[in-house]
Structure 1
Amino acid sequence: MSRRTSALTIALSWATLMMVLFGGLGAAEPSAQGVSLNLRHSLELRLDAHRGPEAVAFEIGAAPVTGLYPGATKPMKLVIVNPTRFDLRIESLAGTVRSTTRPGCAPTPTNLVVRPRVGPPTLPMTVPAYQRREAGSVTLYMPNTVADACQGTVFDIRFQGSGAKVHK
């Protein structure tokens, strides 16, 4: 197994652990339009492959969001956790809808959109060693085109980011 494959396996294992620690499921919310849903987020530790031996891993956390219905937008706050002994420079953060739990409710922009991250703080940002920092939010938007099949579904939102070790 290559070093990179091994690191990726470790990263995905950490993602599963962190999803449990951050409480991955949101509660269902009924709406006037009859569509309700749960949101589940997963976390992905993104290794910065551009840095070679300087590759780092960090954790992206997000609180569950409730109360979405057709036409609604809701912010999802992000938190960066730096588990390393050195400061990290976070350069990018993004989220995408990866899957749903119901047939007929595709993970497409016609059902749920994760809009780009907004601050404050602005990126790049520094997260000190063994610290956590609020990292802005992404906005979740449920368009009016959401399929009836999405009623009661769970949307899996995967977060990714890139970062590097800060050299002092």
Structure 2
Amino acid sequence: MASGTAVSCVWVAGDSRTEASVVGSADRTAFAFTVSGTVMRDLHPGAVRRTRVTVANPYPFPIKVRSIEARVMSTSQRRCRPTPANLGVGSYRGALPLTVPAHGRRTGGDFEVRMPNTVAEACKNTTFELEFTARAGRVSR
């Protein structure tokens, strides 16, 4: 089973990225928003599932999401490593930019998640947590 993890992502008007979830700007002001994915069930060797992405905007103005990425962050079994050999996450499949209204939520595209036939034995009955990162800016008037 894989679960969507809500992860705070930082945005500002600028486009320069300083780390996975941080975007810089001239005045160095940064704001957080949330990206989450739907829970996937019944993962088994050879399974292919999709996790649908939702972005929540806590601000009184709309934001425009320009990129969204996902990766396996952790697993519930210590001996099951969070690597693509145990669970692969594809690229974002959806239209960008994604405009999210003020104080609103918007469901976007999805990520294809694939459990290889060669998954480690230690990964049976394991929950995989995904981490989502995104870059966005305030919508210009």
* Shorter-chain TM-score range: 0.7 to 0.9
Equivalent of residue 50 in structure 1, options 18, 24, 27: 24
Amino acid at match of 2:24: H
Deviations 1:32-85 (A, max 9, x none): xxxxxx323322111133224453321112221112211111111111111100
Cα distance in 2 between the residues matched to 1:159 and 1:125: 15
Q: Which moved more, 1:124-133 or 1:38-47?
A: 38-47
Aligned to 1:75: 50
Identity across the alignment (%): 33
Instruction: Note if 1:132 corresponds to 2:105.
Output: yes
RMSD: 1.4
AA paired with 2:3? R
Structure 1 outlier segments of 4+, above 3 Å: none
TM-score by length of 2: 0.84
- 8 Å CA contact 1:56, 1:164 repeated in 2: no
* Residue in 2 that maps onto 1:92: 67
Unaligned runs of 5+ in 1: 1-37
Q: Secondary structure at the match of 1:86?
A: coil
Greater fraction of residues in helix:
1
* Number of aligned residues: 129
Distance in 1 (CA, whole Å) between partners of 2:68 and 2:130 is 13
Equivalence for 1:161: 134
Aligned to 2:14: none
For the pair shown, which has the larger CA radius of gyration, 1 or 2?
Answer: 1
Aligned to 2:82: 107
**Counterpart amino acid of residue 39 in structure 1:** A
One-letter amino acid of the counterpart of residue 110, structure 2: S
Q: For residues 3-56 of structure 1, what are the alpha-carbon distances to aligned partners after superposition, in whole Å with 9 as ceiling and x for unaligned?
A: xxxxxxxxxxxxxxxxxxxxxxxxxxxxxxxxxxx3233221111332244533
Residues 132 and 126 of structure 1: is their aligned pair in 2 closer, same or farther, counting only changes over 3 Å? same
Tell me, what secondary structure is at the counterpart of 2:10? Answer: coil
Task: Determine which structure has greater relative contact order: mean sequence separation of CA pairs < 8 Å that are 6+ residues apart, divided by chain length.
Answer: 2
